[in-house]
Amino acid sequence: MATKRLWRWRGLSLQGIPCQGTLWQDNRPEALQALQRQRIIPLTLRRCSVQ
């Protein structure tokens, strides 16, 4: 079983509005796909450490 990781992202909505947030995904490609499903154009995507 893969360990989910916390990702912090910044991006643009389809209307060009800046947005940001966090999400739990197994890896970077899955995090990017999750953002695309939410109709967000990712600008940055960084993994966050969780303790």
List per-block mean pLDDT (blocks of 10 residues) for the chain, which spans 51 residues. Answer: 88 97 96 98 94 74
Cα(41)–Cα(34) distance, rounded to whole angstroms? 11
Domain positions in the chain are 5-48
**DSSP label of 49:** -
pLDDT at 49: 87
Phi, psi of 37 (to 5 degrees): -65, -30
pLDDT at 3: 84
pLDDT at 1: 58
Instruction: Provide the whole-model pTM.
Output: 0.85
